[in-house]
Structure 1
Amino acid sequence: MADSLSLPWDAPDSLAHRQRERAENFPVALRALPRRHREHLHSVYAVARMIDDTGDEAEGDRKAQLQELRTDLDRIWLGERPTHPVLRQLAPTVRECDLEQDLFDRLVEANLQDQQVSRYATLEELLGYCRLSADPIGRIVLRVFGVDEPHCAVLSDRVCSALQLLEHWQDVREDFLAGRVYLPLEDLAAFGVDEKALGAQVASKHLRRLMRHEIDCARALLESGAPLVGELHGWARLSVAGFVAGGRATADALLRTGGDVLGQDASPTRAGLARHLTGILLRPSGRWWA
């Protein structure tokens, strides 16, 4: 690579990036948007994905590479030209949508935290991590659509934190094998689950009970933020409805496992996503919960 940053992939339009984007909650309803909004969200997604890939997959000193990436990001707000092409594509979006540097700094900080923190004692500690790793994405999306009301940002944070939790509950075994446990340690203890059980092929009775509890908590958090949809209009409403629908469909898939997230597939179905999205968009104003 000609650029100085040693990052996992070169450009936001790479096939691998597009395939991963289609597989995750972030781009729900993306293809229905006007090109201007779609391209802004593509550029944001590309940077968020690059930051995560650097923290999770980069060879060598990941902390140093994340710091280097943050320095390159800083150039956008300093009026300078970033080194990496993914960041150069973000620069016009930052200017046109007036995106705050702090939101991207928090994404980098989340990945720096991942390099040294692999366990969370309480749910509150885990939600603190979500405030770095997930909540900025929702706030960026709102700004892309010109929404900057504080109460909308608060509701968005709840939706995004819930989506992050649901993603963790889908990946319990994968995370454990990678050396990370996102289930709060106090919950493991309360439900009598030994951490080693997270690496099994099938969830134990105690783990299934714990996972049902965690799924219910994440779903309640999602629904507490769902009224955001009713605060929005036009394309912003469609996009955020897509986030909420994706979360509901994921919660459904997790619940179908009966808590056995180790031995059963917890992937949401397209039919479930479509059903929730339609229900959200057609629901009378003021009623946005399930």
Structure 2
Amino acid sequence: MVLSPSPLRGGVGEGFSGDWPADRAAYLARVTPWAEERTARMARGQKHPVYDFLFEYYSFRPAHLLRWTPGFGGVLEGATRADVPWSEFTLTDTGLSLPASAFPAHRLSYLEWAANYLGAVLAREPSFACLGLHEWAMVYRDLNVRHPYVPLRLSREETDTVVDSQPLRCTHYDAFRFFTPAAVPLNRWELTRVTTSDHDQPGCIHANMDLYKFAYKIAPFCPSSVVADAFEVARFAREIDMRASPYDLSGYGFEPVRIETRAGREEYVELQRAVSLRAQPVRERLLHVYTRLLGALREEPTPQPPP
């Protein structure tokens, strides 16, 4: 059982070995523990301040994560609907196919924007100056917290003092938009959704976490191998993000990165660099998938010779 060569420019899905049953099995072995961990917590009614984010803030459910795809182009020889349960795949004489033309036309503008965004972030120099203060800015001088079932490590006054003692340099709008009203004017930039591509940069924990969103947003046209790589980056980044937060996560097995101290800030920068290094090749692969899909959609049909 193999994937036949694709007539589309650029070939088949990124990282595809040619043996689709083996690739699917390897992918499922990789992601099943993550999906089952989440569904087991849901069955127990148990919350997790670190890992729930990967299934609640991001809208790809465990059942979605467990559906493998090689990406668009080519034919999965011998495959049936039960093998690849994405409705976008079409039956052929020999198996299943996902042509680029199956991508929804109304989402072309998103595809173009995202490709430009990914390229802009990829070309930008990483910055490691934020020191993880975004989670602290989300509780600054406000009695409401995002994780009320988890205690803060410091007193409210001490937590606010940490924010007051250092400049806020958040570059990611989707973190900035959760700042408390008192914290918003303290940030160096007044970020907006419209200017996202002007500020996001490859050193940002959240911009790297969001690679997962860019991978699943075009599923099943993005190969599952890229989705899994992006999820792994997001999981690692989320752990660092919350370890550096003001919350006491010792009950969940996480040691804090104490950014209120010089040693903690140095540790955070090193961990932030590690996330960025893991994320860059994933960002490159995603950009290639997006641009290849755009190229396939823009290709004019090849004129057929007269009979």
Q: TM-score range by the shorter chain?
A: under 0.3
Give the TM-score taking structure 1 as reference length: 0.24
Give the TM-score taking structure 2 as reference length: 0.23
Larger RCO: Structure 1 or Structure 2 (Cα < 8 Å, ≥ 6 residues apart)?
A: 2
